[in-house]
Amino acid sequence: MTKVLHVSASVNGENSNSRQIALKLIDRIKAADSSATVIERDTNEAVVSAITGETVGAYYTPAENRSEAQKKVIAASDKMVAEIMDADVLVIGAPMYNFSIPSTLKAWVDLIARVGVTFNYTENGPVGLVEGKKAYIVAATGGVPVNSPADFATPYLKQVLAFIGITDVEVVEASGFGVNAEEAMAKAIANVEAAKLPAAA
């Protein structure tokens, strides 16, 4: 049974291009594995909030020494880390806002990138602890081509995923919605159909 974590970041909700395309990809995965399950994580929900000094302090306090207040501060982070650890596949809907990712998606990254939990520092450099996963980045833009010099969103997400141990990453391009939305959607759907499906879990 394949477990899919769908991370949605657009402020446009159900009308989001990145969300619609990500759902088409998830439909393909479910068609190939009828037992597949999906967990939805919308980064626009209030629980996905910017980290604070209290958050970082709780991260670096050994679990057995955390106060009840510290446990409460990182409860949302713990939940989101558990979602990633439990998933076989991540599908990240990543609209480009001003050449980069939405601030809420960055907040999600800050909640799941945790030393000693999803990565470790070693004498030979950082080592990711989230292994054996496949990730798709559905990169939707208004006019900036994906992987162009002005695209700071896709390389950043690939770097973050690799940093925590997810190196099997496929980008589903969905460029140009601000130029010709109909043509952009048609190309994006073709890219969804061309995407390599994950191996059955």
Q: Tell me: is residue 16 an annotated ligand-binding position.
A: yes
Q: Tell me: is residue 100 an annotated ligand-binding position.
A: no
Q: Tell me: is residue 121 an annotated ligand-binding position.
A: no
Q: Tell me: is residue 17 an annotated ligand-binding position.
A: yes
Q: Tell me: is residue 65 an annotated ligand-binding position.
A: no
Q: Tell me: is residue 67 an annotated ligand-binding position.
A: no
Q: Compute the Cα dihedral for 177, 147, 32, 42 and give only its sign.
A: negative
Separation of alpha carbons 100 and 151, rounded Å:
7
Contact 151, 97 (CB under 8 A): no
Identify the three-state secondary structure at position 174.
strand
Q: What would the two tokens of residue 38 be? A: 């999906």
Separation of alpha carbons 166 and 169, rounded Å:
7
Q: Tell me: is residue 120 an annotated ligand-binding position.
A: no
Q: Tell me: is residue 147 an annotated ligand-binding position.
A: no
| Binding-site residues | 10, 16-18, 96-99
Binding site as annotated, residues for FMN: 10, 16-18, 96-99
